[in-house]
Amino acid sequence: MRYAFIKSLLHEAEKNDRIMLLTGDLGFTVFEEFRERYPRQFLNVGVAEQNLMGIATGLALSGKIVFAYSIATFATMRPLEQIRLDIASHNAPIIIVGTGAGFSYGHASISHHAMEDIALMRVIPGMTVICPADPTEASWATRQAIKINRPVYLRLGMKGEPNLYESHTKLTIGKGSILRKGKGVALIATGNIVGNTLQAATLLAHEHINPTVVSMHTIKPLDATLITSIIDTHKTIITIEEHSVIGGLGSAVAEIIAEQQSSPKFRRLGIPDRFMSKIGSQQYLRDLVGLSPKKIAAAVKKLI
């Protein structure tokens, strides 16, 4: 997913010299080509995320379109005050890129486990929050974030995510994408856990359960129209996210359900309200919290 992001950014930077890429002293294997081709559009701020956001704001208010890149936990937590006061209050055209969504850096322990970033970013006024599911969504989101012309949080996985779309798929900010049409049960997922959700749907199909699967790539603004339609046409709704069950996609969908007349069965699948006491691969940690395809499928069967 990171490579899809930088490929799209290279293409856009060639057309627009207002685009700048700032990094917090990481991503060099990904950014080498960008740095060599556009040295005046690249800046390594160092391990100083608060300064990163302050410098990004100054550049943005001077007419630049700035991508501020760091690991998701460091991009959203350490500089939260600067994001709120410098970036958001000025409605600055800055795309905060948080890489390593969820357990992508599973071996690096809780300092790198991005479990709260969506919650932190979606509550900030004026912040658009996008969580791509695969390289196709990542490329599209990179291009669209430039056009938004206001603060964006772009939450990326790392690498190896399978392509979930055909080549000519039309995507829209604030509109969820139906990847699989079913009936009775709807699985609404976001980010790089969408792949596991589709695999779970395939497992369920073998047992004559045919769920609808939605990639809710935009958490804010959320596609309330699609969610309302799903509420009206499905008896069971389950949200899946590689993020805390508090404050993320599940909470956002629950807020919409609470305001509707009908009440489907509803459950949030995600990271429980605790720190992980173990480290390991992303797949290992996903399985521990019930986000493997088999455990997602089992949770669906239990609810229905």
For residue 60, the model assigns a pLDDT of 98
Residue 172 resides in a domain? no
Residue 171 resides in a domain? no
Cα–Cα dist 126/49, whole Å: 21
Q: From edge to edge, which strands make up the β-sheet containing 65-71?
A: 42-44, 19-23, 65-71, 94-99, 152-156, 128-130, 218-220
82 and 134 both lie in a single domain: yes
Cα–Cα dist 121/220, whole Å: 9
Domain coverage including residue 93: 2-156
Q: Residue 176 carries which side chain, given as an amino acid letter?
A: G
The closest of 11, 295, 282, 280 to 143, measured between CA atoms, is 11
Domain stops at, among 156, 191, 208 = 156
The closest of 70, 58, 61 to 22, measured between CA atoms, is 70
142 and 27 both lie in a single domain: yes
For residue 167, the model assigns a pLDDT of 66
Q: Residue 78 carries which side chain, given as an amino acid letter?
A: R
3-state secondary structure of 255: helix
64 and 149 both lie in a single domain: yes
Condensed to tens digits (0 to 9), the pLDDT of residues 161-215 reads 889 987 667 899 999 999 999 999 999 999 999 999 999 999 999 999 999 999 9
131: domain CATH number is 3.40.50.970
191: domain CATH number is 3.40.50.920
Q: What is the CA radius of gyration of the chain?
A: 19
For residue 26, the model assigns a pLDDT of 87
For residue 255, the model assigns a pLDDT of 97
- Is residue 116 within 8 A of residue 153, CB to CB? The reply is no
Rounded to 5°, the CA angle 291-138-126 comes to 90
Q: Is omega for the bond preceding 221 within 30 degrees of 0, making it cis?
A: yes
Burial 267-279 (b: 16+ CB within 10 A, else e): bbbbbeeeebeeb
| Residues ≥6 apart with Cβ < 8 Å to 228 | 256, 260
Task: Show pLDDT as tens, one digit a residue, over the chain (304 residues).
Answer: 899 999 999 999 999 999 999 999 987 788 999 999 999 999 999 999 999 999 999 999 999 999 999 999 999 999 999 999 999 999 999 999 999 999 999 999 999 999 999 999 999 999 999 999 999 999 999 999 999 999 999 999 988 888 998 766 789 999 999 999 999 999 999 999 999 999 999 999 999 999 999 999 999 999 999 999 999 999 999 999 999 999 999 999 999 999 998 889 999 999 999 999 999 999 999 999 999 999 999 999 999 9
Residue 243 resides in a domain? yes
For residue 168, the model assigns a pLDDT of 67
The burial class, CB within 10 Å (0-12 / 13-18 / 19+), for 208 is exposed
pTM of whole model > 0.75?
yes
Cα–Cα dist 303/168, whole Å: 35
Residue 167 resides in a domain? no
For residue 45, the model assigns a pLDDT of 96
Residue 166 resides in a domain? no
3-state helix, strand, coil in the chain (%, to 5): 45, 20, 35
17 and 105 both lie in a single domain: yes
